[in-house]
Structure 1
Amino acid sequence: MDSLLRAFGELIPATIIASPFAVLAWLVLSERRGRRRPPRTARRTAALDVAIGSNVIIVCFLVTIPVPWRPPTALHLWPGTDLVDAFAPTGSPWQVMGNLVLLAPLGALIPLRVRASRSLVKLALAALIVSTIVEVGQYLLHTGRVTATDDIVLNTLGAVAGARLTRRWWSHRYPGIYAIPAPRTSSPSLESLPRHTPH
């Protein structure tokens, strides 16, 4: 537990500070979208967008904040190295859980808003790319966090698991239930179309 607090303890005050701003953003988005869409749709899409944006900020915060009690850079490219260390008697399984949870909220929320991500294969590929960028960023910024192949795998598995949890809402059985409706366009009725009479 001590290693968990040292690695992620800064997230607690940051979340408390950011929560009022997230609520304010939701209220503003809901009000603006409610002018053109049904209130329920406006509130729902605004909540999803604020949740996605908040999770992106949290991920960026976690991977960029320095860890003072660690060396500046650590690179573990051999698969399984971090998993063995985490489950060793002196290790911390919390690190594994943290990497599984890191992208899980985005994996659960993004398919509700982006149709192109409603394939688990595409979502896994996107999570793999995002996680790789995050790990490379950590290495280049020298934040004191370990850049590891295991972290990329765990982040990707977490995103896919998050998507599976919400799949019943974004599957083909409920198409467009959370999508922003397209603007209504007037189309000519059958009665207004010119009629051609045979000669």
Structure 2
Amino acid sequence: MNNQVWDELNTIRFEAFSKIFHETKQDKYIALLMTRVTELCQDALLLLENDRVASVPILLRSALESYVDLMCLINNADYVEEMNKSFDFHKMKFKGEKVNFRELINISTKFELAGESKTYAGFYAYLCRSSHGNLEMLINFHSIDEKISIGHKPNVEEVKLLENQTLCLAATALIEGLEHLGKFETQIDKLKSIQHFTGNEEYA
């Protein structure tokens, strides 16, 4: 893992968060979602550093879903109510009450609202496939030359690609959130340099 890049991003993150002051639920949830995305990305990078690739797409899928929530919230303050409704539904279900989860916005619609329809059909679809124990992923992550393999070294290029996607997703989430919150131009410029370093310009 490129520890130097992550350390730089992490320093920027802590510097920015020490200055965040949220007056509305929208701003508070934006800060929470930025935290969620970057924490999951850090977990993914730690796994990659230890050559544990198979679980990384699962973490990135969750991080990307949180990023989409972040963008929906930035685009529309009323999305706070959707998040609250989802939380209420899960509390009701835990108590044994009947709930209709179809009343909530589905994941594909969330990607549309976030302006990420292409990502849904591309990077997100890949992460979903990689998160399930289908034959494609069994072959990719758990075999070499059609033989079952436990604990083998992952493909270097695949690790590098996942590192770049992870770093860029973390940087992008911080950029979008901080741009909404305002007064973080210095941190945003540094984050854009990290985003550019990954070679993606976007997270996928």
Q: TM-score, normalised by structure 1?
A: 0.29
Q: Which structure dedicates a bigger proportion of its chain to helix? A: 2
The higher-RCO structure (CA 8 Å, 6+ apart) is 2
Flag the structure with larger Rg.
1
